[in-house]
Structure 1
Amino acid sequence: MFSGTVFIPMQLGFDINTAIFFSGVSTLLFFVVNRGRVPAYLGCSGSAVAAIMSISGYKYQPGVPNDNIAAVQGALIVLGIVYAAISLIVHAFGHKWVEAIMPPVVTGAIICGIGLHLMTSSFQQATSSFFDGVMAFVTVVVIMFFSVYAPSPFLRRLCILLGTIVSYVIYLICGLVNAGPRIDFSNIVAQPWVRPPIVHWPVVFQGQAISTMIPLVIVFLAENMGHLKALSAITETSLEKYLGNAYMGDALSIILCGSVGSPPLTTYAENMIVLSVTRIYSPLVIVSAAFIAIVLGFFSKFGAVVSSIPAGVFGGLTIVLYTIIAITGVRIWMDNKVDFSDQRNMFVGGIPVAIASVMQTQLKINHFELDGIGVSTFLALFLYQLLFAGEHIKTWLRQRRQLSDTLP
C-alpha cells in the first residue's frame, strides 16, 4: 500500500511524513467508525490528484514542497462535509439508490477516465528531458519485470516499491559516472532524524477551489462502493450494509486531512489487492499497521529520501500507477459483465472516458470550475440517466401495474 500512502502525496507536493502519520490516524478513525467490521487501510486515491494540482498550481520537482495548499485544505473540508451528509442519507434510506444512480458502467467509466486523464501530466513529467525519458522507460520496465518475474507473489505485489528502488539506484550510478544528472542529497542531510509531522494553518475557503473539488464526492462514492463490493467478495462476507459507515469514515478522514494539511485519505484499490493476496483480514493487523505508520511519520529522514526521487523515475512510476487506476475501471466493467454490444452502454462508458483522456483544460462557468475528471463524471451520470430513462419508466409502469393487479 506504499504507493497510495507515499507516492501520490509526493506528486502533490505534500509533506511525506504528514501523509504517512495521518494515514495511520485516518485508518484508526475509519476503524472506530466502522467498529472494525470493514478491513481497510486508508491511503491517497489518485482521484484527487488533478483537482489538487489545478487548485494549487503545483508541478512535481524533487524535494520542492507545495506551498499553496491552504485553499486545497478548505475545499477538502467542504468536500468532507458534503460526503458526510450523503453518508447520513445512506444510513437513513439504504444504499440501493446509490447503485441505481451509479451502476457498474458508470463507475467503471469514471475510474478509467481518472487514470487516463492523469496520464498526460505523468508523460509530460517523464519526458521533460531525454535522460528523464530514458529513466522513465527503465522504471516502467523494471516494475513490470518484478510484477511478472519475481519468484513469489509477495515480491510481485511489491513491484512498485522494488522497481522504484532499483531505478533510483540506476539513476544514482548514472550521476556518479557523469552519464546523467546527480541526485541532490542536501535536503536529506539537512533534515533531523526525528521531528513531528507538519500541520498547515490557516485554512482558506475559496469558492473556485471548492467548486473544483466538490465533484470528487461522486467519484469517492463510486470508489468506496466498488471497494466494499470487492471486500465482500474477498472476505466472503456481506459488507454492503455497512456502506453508510464506510462513507462516514471516509468523510471524517477527509475533513481531518483538510484541517491539518494532509492529502485526502480514503479507502483505495491497492488495499483490496493486498488483502486478496495475503488473505489476512484481521482488524488487529490493520490497527497494527496504522500504529506503525504513525510512528514512521516522525522519522523525517525517511520522508526526505522519498522526496529525492528524480523526476524521470517518478514519471515512470506514476505512469504505472495511473495505468493501474485505468485498468481498475475496465475490470469493473468485466467483473460486472457490462454488455458493450448495447449501444447505450457503449456511449455511457466510452464518451466520458474519451473526454477525460483529452480534456486537460478547465471548464469555467462564472466561479464554478470543472477539470476533465469532473466533466467526465457528470457526463457519465447524465448519459446513463438519459439513455436508460425509457427502461426505467417501463420498469416503474410495470411495477405499478403489478401492484394494481394485486389490489382488490
Structure 2
Amino acid sequence: MALWKLHGDGSLKLGEVVAPHERLSWGKTIGLGAQHVVAMFGATFVFPLLMGLNPQLAVMMSGVATLVFLLTVKGKVPSYLGSSASFVGVATAIYSAGGNPSDVTGAMFWVGVLLLMVGLIISAVGAKVIHRALPPVVTGGVVMLIGFNLAPVVANTYWPQDQWVGLVTMLLVVVLSVGVRGFLGRIAIFVSLIFGYVLSWLLDVFTGPITAFSASAGAVTTHLRVDWSGVANAAWVGLPPVTDLANWQWHAQTNVVGFHLPHFNVAFALIALPVVIALIAENTGHVKAVAEMTGENLDKQMGPAIAADGATSMLATFVGAGPTTTYAENIGVMASTKVYSSAAYVVAAIVAILFGFSPKFGAIISATPGGVLGGITVVLYGMIGLLGAKIWKENQVDFGNPVNLVPVAAGIIIGVGNVSLDLGGWQLSGIAFGTLVTVIVYHLAHRLAPAELKNNPEGAVLIVDRPGAYKGDHED
C-alpha cells in the first residue's frame, strides 16, 4: 500500500472530497480515525459477547484484520473489518447442540476458508461473475437491508435507555453535519458522542439516576446513565485471558473466554458454512457502496477484498476471536464526512489494537451511555440503508418491473424485520435470510419471467465511474 498524498494543504474545504489515496494533516486524520473507532466499537464489542467470545480479543483482532485487508486491496477500498453479526445464530445453535467456544471458532474457521477460495476464484475469472449474480437491483437491496436491519438495535436496545439524551445527541449530529462548516462538521459523530457522554454524566450529577431500560439487566431499572465501576476495576495494560474450557458454561456469570485454538467438527461446520453466501453478498455490497461513494470502479478489487476477509476471518478464529467482515457502520461515517482516506482506517486499526492491550480504555468505550449510542446510530444506520437507494437511483433500476420489485421487496422485509427460517438444528434469519431471498428469488423470477420483463439477461454493470464524482455527485 503506497503512502498517501496530502490533500491540498492538509485541510478540508467546503465541497471537497478526500480520495482513498489522499490524507488530511495527521492531526485531522487521527481525529477521523477516532471517529471510525467510535462507529465500529459497539458492534465489534457486542457481537462477540452474543457469541460467547471475548470482546477485548475481538477488538484487537479487528485492528489486525483491518491492516491486513488494507494491504491486500492496496488501500483502494477504505474499510474497517469488525466482528460479524451473521454468526450469532450459528454460535447459539452450536452451543445448543452441546458445543463450546472452540467448536464455534472451529466451525467459523471453515467459513473463512470458503470465503478465501471464493475471493481467489473471483480474482481469477473477473468480477463479471459477481455482476451476473449480483446486479445493481440486488446489491442495492442487500446494502439497504444491511443498514435497516440495524434499526431494531436502536429501537429496542439503545434508544429506550435514555430517549431525551438520544434525541439531543441525534439533533447535534444533524446540526454539526449540515450546519457547521469545516473539520468540526466532518467529525460530527465523534463530537456528538463526547457531548452526549458529558451530558449524561451531568444529568447523573444534577438529577440523579434514571429509571429506564438497562441493557445489562435486560429490564427497566433505576441506574446511573454513566457507570464507571467496570472502568475502575479494569487494568491499564493486559491481554485477554486464555479460555478455560474445563469450567466454561454457556451464559454463566463465571464465563471466562479468550485465547484458544479452534476445534473442528464436521457437523458444526455444516451449520456455519451457508453463512458464506451472506458474507459474499455483504462484502460485494460494501465494495460497491464504497465505489458508489468514491466514484471509482473497484471491480478489480472485488476478489482481493473477499479473499482478504476470508483470510482475516481464518486468522481471527484461529486465535479464538470471531470472524471479521467489512463494516457497514463505517460506510455511514464516510458518507457523512466525505473523507474516504484509507489513512484514517490505518489509524483506527492501530487504536483498536491498542485497545486490545488495554482493558481500561475498552471499559471506558463500553461504558458509553446507551442513549448516546441511540442518538448516533439512528442517523448512521439510516444513512447505510439509504446508500442502497442511491445505488438504485444511479443505475436507474426500474421498480415498475415486477422482476425487480417482488424479490427485493421480500428480501428487504425479511432483513429489516429479522424474519427467521427454522432449519432444524440451524436458524437462518435477518441479513443472511434476507440476502439469500433477494439473490436467489431474483434469479428465479428472472428465469421465469417472459422476455419483455427480463432486464439485461447478462447482468447489469454497476455504474460508479462518473465524471466529476469526487466534486459534485456526493454533495447531496
Q: TM-score, normalised by structure 2?
A: 0.68
Name the amino acid aligned to 1:345: N
Closer/same/farther in 2, CA of residues 195 and 2 from structure 1, 3 Å limit: same
Pairwise CA distance, 1:101? 1.0
Matched, 1:343 2:402: yes
CA drift at 1:307: 1.0
Matched, 1:389 2:447: yes
CA distance change for structure 1 residues 227 and 365 in 2, over 3 Å: closer, same or farther? closer
Among candidates 52, 57, 77, match of residue 88 of structure 2: 52
Retained in 2: the 8 A contact 1:55–1:209? no
SS at match of 1:304: helix
1:6 aligns with 2:41: yes
Cα distance in 1 for residues equivalent to 2:280 and 2:311: 14
Cα gap change, 1:222 to 1:299, in 2 (>3 Å):
same
Q: How does 1:3-402 map to 2 (within 5 A)?
A: 3-12=38-47, 13=49, 17-34=56-73, 36=74, 38-44=76-82, 48-49=84-85, 51-52=87-88, 55-56=91-92, 72-126=104-158, 128=160, 132-152=162-182, 154-177=183-206, 178=208, 180=210, 181-182=223-224, 183-197=226-240, 199-203=258-262, 213-229=272-288, 238-269=297-328, 270=330, 274=334, 277-278=338-339, 280=341, 287=346, 290-360=349-419, 362-389=420-447
SS state at 1:309 partner:
coil
The amino acid of 2:443's aligned partner reads Q
Query: One-letter code of the match for 2:398?
Result: D
Distance in 2 (CA, whole Å) between partners of 1:263 and 1:293 is 15
* 1:213, distance to aligned residue in structure 2 (A): 4.8
Instruction: Please list every run of 5 or more consecutive structure 1 residues that lacks an aligned counterpart in the other structure.
Output: 58-67, 400-408
Pick closer, same or farther for the CA change 1:137–1:214 going to 2, 3 Å. farther
Partner residue in 2 for 1:64: none
Equivalent-residue separation in structure 2 for 1:179 and 1:37 (angstroms): 46
Alpha-carbon offset, residue 96 of structure 1: 0.9
Task: Name the SS of the counterpart of 1:388 in structure 2.
Answer: helix
Q: Indicate the structure with greater helix content.
A: 1
Aligned 8 A contact 2:70 2:342 in 1: no
Alpha-carbon RMSD across the aligned residues, in angstroms, is 3.5
> Shift of the alpha carbon at 1:190?
1.5
TM-score by length of 1: 0.79
Letter in 1 for 2:164: V
Which runs of no fewer than 5 residues in structure 2 stay unpaired? 1-35, 94-99, 211-222, 242-257, 459-476
Residues 205 and 162 of structure 1: CA distance in aligned 2, closer, same or farther (over 3 Å): farther
CA distance, structure 2, for counterparts of residue 228 and residue 247 of structure 1: 9
Assess if the C-alpha contact under 8 Å between 2:69 and 2:312 holds in 1: yes
2:140·2:285 contact (CA, 8 Å) conserved in 1?
no
Structure 1 pair 207–111 and aligned structure 2 pair: CA distance change class (3 A): farther
Deviations 1:339-381 (A, max 9, x none): 1122221112212112222345x32122232013222111111
